[in-house]
Structure 1
């Protein structure tokens, strides 16, 4: 190798090494703050403090502030329980759904009981032992139960996604969830919570196989993502009648029952009736 080539090789190698090291850490200069470093390098202050185990915001000149977790760093993890969703875990630990999917190499939003979901940061042990905010269980016939006017489309009532605005697990944007999602495996029997007349029994975009029942006095109930429909339009059904088998048709990530109560065509929160 000629002398001039050696010089170029050394310069290029040095630039690459500096660039790589700069991506791993930042050397603190006089006047730097965690806020200014966060803005320059696009790393949240909370993450900088966590990576570098900083107890406060104090810095000193020449200090190395690491910008990324080491390859062996995984932080705390959440053990998936029945009813857990990525949305619920995201809200609980303040970690974006996209980040959770990237860290855990998830291609879908489907979770399985017993899975370890790494959070990409350290979390106090006390905060890991919680009853999932995405899981609400109701006991039938309890005096204090919200089920008084909720109705009972399933024998076992476990809410996996409540009524209200949420990040849609398929569409990926924040929209109103007009009903509640109830935990149900494929072909779990679905019952009519109230008497009424079937006004719709078929496929509806997004909802998949769906049933709508006119319950009178401007109220109607809706049941979506069904696997099998056991009734026909125009049929009158009594309270407790088996009307369908649950499934995963339509825009979903897994099997469950979507249940709605509407008054004058406007969706209502079944859990606050």
Structure 2
């Protein structure tokens, strides 16, 4: 820990007046992804998002890693959005984004990179619900029978499709352990998290996976980014809730208050 803090201090001094959201850290003997995460206070999924070429197994002495000063990621909108919409996409407040981007305006142009903090105030939480919404977006296809948009035949849709921009952060809907992180036919890049009570959640069509098998995940943790991999007509998150491997309607488990834009409008 002392070694990391000393290095951090030196790096901050070297940055000087040239503002950056991260430092470069050289991996030292004895370092692991877990020890680096603990030493800097940066969650492993965030480290993996900043360093796409590393895994828990290939950390090497002398390797250079980008370490953000605060838990957060860079986001580049594919279309112009408002600051308030960006805050909703990360389930935080606009003030939190402004605190680390003091010159940011009320509109974020398409293609402009913004550093967005994570893990301070996740507004998708509610004590009344066991699960939280995994992504901010718009429901484009619900659970149940439908005409498949690609195969053009009636098939059962085992989850909920939530349309969102490519790169939109995906969060764990419930605490658990990563059971699978990789590619599955149809699903594309997918994360499967195993939870207590026989539950599993699926997060499919991702553009980026920032977890690995065996990693403990807490509810609300950042785990990946929205994409359009696998059998997909455009960027969205396919989200499933399974109990003892039987699929269930995810909406039955998710918060239904008007705080959550992703919900369908319910009549009850």
TM-score tier (shorter): 0.3 to 0.5
User: Is the helix fraction higher in 1 or 2?
Assistant: 1
- Max radius of gyration: which structure? 1
The normalised TM-score by structure 2 is 0.46
Higher relative contact order (CA 8 A, sep 6+): 2
The normalised TM-score by structure 1 is 0.45
